[in-house]
Amino acid sequence: MADAIDPVLLLDACRQGQPAARRAASGQLGGFLLRVAAERLRSKPDLAEQAEDCAQEALVAIWRKLEAGGGPDRPERFLSWSAAVVVHKVYDLLRRQGYGRPAAASLAVDPIPERVRRVPRAAQLSLEALGADSADSGPRRRLPDPSALDPEAEAGEREAFAALLVGVREHARLSEDSKRVLGEGFLDERDDDELARSLGTSRANVHVIRSRNLAKLRGDTAWMARLRRFYEG
């Protein structure tokens, strides 16, 4: 498993490092962005090859922002801030490919319904109980489609999701299978049967992996705080 990235050191290398250090930082950041993009596109095999394009576009955008004096409000948020940039690129790709909001002409006749994000029953009742499996999907939280949000709200939505995704992908106590089950299933709502097939295991084992690893995350106060902000807004 790759070593966790220190966001503060990476940002410092990007902004102030010598040419060799900046090149190394660019490579590290680019690899991170590619992992985030690939994670978001994993459930869409027809677009998976475009993850690299999204990552490259995001890397260029990030360098331009940094060179112009922009960046995250706090150095420790550099990874989630960067992930939000690449998630933005992925959203743009999905919209261009017809996965997002329909064309304006069709909106006039048949407005798009609100996007629904499943919120596990436990998240509604108590974040400390997260991970309890149930045959009932439980209450749902309705969120507006990202394309319908104002720019500030959309950026906040993307960064909140990106922070959760980063927390899972970079978590030292999670195996690769665990990261996929949590990242694709719990956060991205991929069907358990699909996850089981892609991992070469059973649906029951997917449930076991999820429960065990959510128990690990419950002990991570920083990740739980991100989760609380994501669901409570």
Q: What is the CATH number of the domain that holds 194?
A: 1.10.10
Q: Would you say residue 150 lies in a domain?
A: no
Q: Would you say residue 105 lies in a domain?
A: no
Q: What pLDDT score was predicted for residue 160?
A: 65
Q: Would you say residue 163 lies in a domain?
A: no
- Asked whether residue 128 falls in the same domain as residue 49, the answer is no
- Asked whether residue 80 falls in the same domain as residue 122, the answer is no
How many structural domains is the chain composed of?
Answer: 2
- Asked whether residue 46 falls in the same domain as residue 67, the answer is yes
Q: Would you say residue 154 lies in a domain?
A: no
Provide the residue-wise pLDDT of the chain in tens; the chain has 233 residues. 345 789 999 999 998 878 888 889 999 999 999 998 988 888 788 888 899 999 999 999 999 889 888 888 888 889 888 988 898 888 888 888 877 533 333 222 233 233 333 333 333 333 334 434 333 333 333 334 444 444 555 556 666 666 667 677 777 788 888 888 877 776 566 678 878 887 888 988 988 888 888 888 888 887 777 666 665 55
- Asked whether residue 124 falls in the same domain as residue 36, the answer is no
- Asked whether residue 13 falls in the same domain as residue 50, the answer is yes
Dihedral sign for Cα atoms in the order 188, 191, 192, 196? negative
Q: How far is the C-alpha of 146 from the C-alpha of 22, rounded, in Å?
A: 33
Q: What pLDDT score was predicted for residue 230?
A: 60
- Asked whether residue 94 falls in the same domain as residue 10, the answer is yes
Domain stop point among 45, 68, 100: 100
Q: Would you say residue 1 lies in a domain?
A: yes
Please give the structure tokens belonging to residue 68: 């112009």
- Asked whether residue 123 falls in the same domain as residue 187, the answer is yes
Task: Find the domain containing 68 and state its range.
Answer: 1-100
Q: What pLDDT score was predicted for residue 161?
A: 67
Q: Would you say residue 107 lies in a domain?
A: no
- Asked whether residue 43 falls in the same domain as residue 137, the answer is no
Going by the DSSP 8-state scheme, the letter that residue 99 receives in this structure is: S
- Asked whether residue 78 falls in the same domain as residue 134, the answer is no
- Asked whether residue 117 falls in the same domain as residue 26, the answer is no
DSSP character string of 133-196:
--SS---EEEE--GGGS-HHHHHHHHHHHHHHHHHHHT-TT--HHHHHIIIIIIIT---HHHHH
Q: What pLDDT score was predicted for residue 62?
A: 92
Q: Would you say residue 7 lies in a domain?
A: yes
- Asked whether residue 92 falls in the same domain as residue 192, the answer is no
Q: Would you say residue 32 lies in a domain?
A: yes
Q: How far is the C-alpha of 42 from the C-alpha of 3, rounded, in Å?
A: 22
Q: What pLDDT score was predicted for residue 190?
A: 67
- Asked whether residue 96 falls in the same domain as residue 139, the answer is no
